[in-house]
Structure 1
Amino acid sequence: MAQNDMTPEVAAELAGIRESIDNIDAALIHMLAERFKFTQKVGTLKAANNLPPSDPEREARQVARLRALAEEANLDPTFAEKWFHFVVEEVIHHHVQARG
């Protein structure tokens, strides 16, 4: 069935589902912005105390924790781990840039 062949009922249901997805996406962006505010504080504290930008032991604990949470939520734990590594890479990249 092509988009223009949808019944009004299907179109309305699809629009409602997409609105929910859009709301979740917006919430995720706001949550990530909050998360980055705190990681900036961590970066500032580490820089002020000459600490390395990454903490492999903490990252390993976080991966294990997030994989378990993903399993509980019926989300692919590998996806959760990839997401975490992506975020950590971005945080470290921004911290290194901020240090100049």
Structure 2
Amino acid sequence: MQDTPTPRMTPETDATTDATNRAADLLKDHRDSIDRLDAILVYTLGERFKHTQAVGRLKARHDLPPSDPAREDRQIERLEWLAQEADLDPDFAKKFLNFVIQEVIRHHKQIKE
């Protein structure tokens, strides 16, 4: 059986290996942060929906409509401003809030029924 020669490490391959290892470490750090932020988003949405469910029950008890277009418009305008402050695409923020609002309205209609 013939021995396979071990590749020689040159300064260039050492530098490439070091750069690749640093990139892998940075990637892991970013992914860990993303995972933490995803958890924050989920728990925050859960908390938000607890409050909107309470609002839905209150609206149902007092025969109020499930939707409040004036408030929704104010919230969208506020979120667009917050998105700009956070360096987030305001159109994305608006789409996201519209999605959440439609889900809240759906819940309010279910509660009313």
Normalized against structure 1, the TM-score is what?
A: 0.89
The partner residue of 1:17 within 16, 26, 30 is 30
Q: Which runs of 5+ in 1 are unaligned?
A: none
Partner Cα distance (2:90, 2:22) in 1: 35
1:9 Cα deviation after fit: 2.0
Q: Deviations over 1:8-29 (max 9, x none)?
A: 2211110111000000000000
1:70 aligns with 2:108: no
**Contact 2:60/2:111 (8 A) holds in 1:** no
Q: Does 1:7 align with 2:48?
A: no
Aligned residue in 1 for 2:42: 29
CA-to-aligned-CA distance 1:31-55 (integer Å, 9 cap, x gap): 0000000000100000000000000
Q: CA RMSD in A?
A: 1.5
Q: 1:59 aligns with which of 72, 76, 86?
A: 72
Query: Following TM superposition, where does structure 1 have runs of at least 4 consecutive aligned residues deviating by more than 4 angstroms?
Result: none
Deviation at 1:99, TM superposition (A): 2.8
TM-score by length of 2: 0.79
Out of 54, 58, 83, the position equivalent to 1:41 is: 54
Q: For structure 2, list consecutive stretches of 5 or more residues without a partner in the other structure.
A: 1-16
The 1-side partners of 2:110 and 2:68 are apart by 18
**1:68, CA displacement in angstroms?**
0.8
